[in-house]
Structure 1
């Protein structure tokens, strides 16, 4: 059995973090080696994950079910599957929740659960699981923080771009205005001289 107990601090509000962690496609995009498969009528979906254990890379395929409680910003994930050769089977359960972090003004994502393995690769996988889980949690944390910050980056980027464009336009607009003023004043002078004749 491989225990799961992780806590991630994210410098974004709980509402934004929940948008990501409650969306399977967004979560999968945060996990290196993970792919999302087809959805089933009962709400479950297929997924796969390639994991490296020492020099061995194992591809697991699973049927995943996700239950969400939006009011509590919590969820329960269950998965059942096997590796590509059928030598190792697993079942996994995990409960996660997004809560506000008063200390930082951001959020904390807590996850608790376990993975149970059976089959000939189980001892090898379990022996290297600690390092693998730590690495995956670190990578997921970095990706989640980046994904949660994307709208803020984008809006800031657009705002900065608008400022830069306005700044770049000012000299050009000033030159056009000056040229137009000269043109109009020249025409006015020409009209004045014609009237005088």
Structure 2
């Protein structure tokens, strides 16, 4: 199996490099990851649960960082055992390149081999599962690095909203902040509702 992808990260190169070497961030981003613990120089013991097609198992393995060129690139060498499910091993070359002052382009090329039941379910399912896991990892990784990105997105959404929508949003916010305003609004609605009923 081979996988090559490129992702844009919303942080400077140095920040992206630090995050790629932060076990707490990696644990939060790797789907099914239970633990990542130091296991020697530039090496980590990893435990995770993963599902590949009909095969779901708990894998325990080791990840070694090699060819380190901070803050630009490194190679991850990994291997793991999943008991009766089989095993997996391979490597990934990860490269970071500046994309302006506050953005970084991350590229990687990964290759892996699987054995046991994993090898029997077919390369198509294995490749699909690997792409899904990678996509989820980078989605979470981007969120971890984004910080207050969601807040900025909400602000932009309000700015781009139609005038009527913005007015509704402001009215609701004012009502929440001012209980008396909320009470007056409720009374107006009751009066208009009563008038509508009497007319009908």
- TM-score, normalization: structure 2? 0.65
Q: Report the CA distance between 1:105 and its aligned residue.
A: 5.3
The count of residues paired between Structure 1 and Structure 2 equals 150
Q: Report the CA distance between 1:34 and its aligned residue.
A: 1.2
Instruction: Please show how residues 1-197 of structure 1 align to structure 2 within 5 Å.
Output: 2-67=1-66, 68-71=68-71, 73-85=72-84, 87-102=85-100, 106-124=103-121, 126-150=123-147
Contact 2:75/2:93 (8 A) holds in 1: yes
Q: Secondary structure at the match of 1:113?
A: strand
- For structure 2, the 5+ residue unaligned runs are 153-200
The structure whose Rg is larger is: 1
- How far, CA to CA, are the matches of 1:60 and 1:76 in structure 2? 21
What RMSD, in angstroms, separates the aligned Cα atoms of the two structures? Answer: 2.5
The equivalent of 1:171 in structure 2 is: none
Contact 1:6/1:137 (8 A) holds in 2: no
Q: Secondary structure at the match of 2:94?
A: strand
Q: Report the CA distance between 1:83 and its aligned residue.
A: 0.7
- How far, CA to CA, are the matches of 1:16 and 1:116 in structure 2? 31
Deviations 1:16-66 (A, max 9, x none): 111111223322211120133442234422102222223432222111111
CA gap 1:97/1:57 in 2 versus in 1, 3 angstroms: same
Q: Report the CA distance between 1:123 and its aligned residue.
A: 2.6
CA gap 1:15/1:43 in 2 versus in 1, 3 angstroms: closer
Q: Report the CA distance between 1:78 and its aligned residue.
A: 0.6
- TM-score, normalization: structure 1? 0.66
- How far, CA to CA, are the matches of 2:143 and 2:43 in structure 1? 27
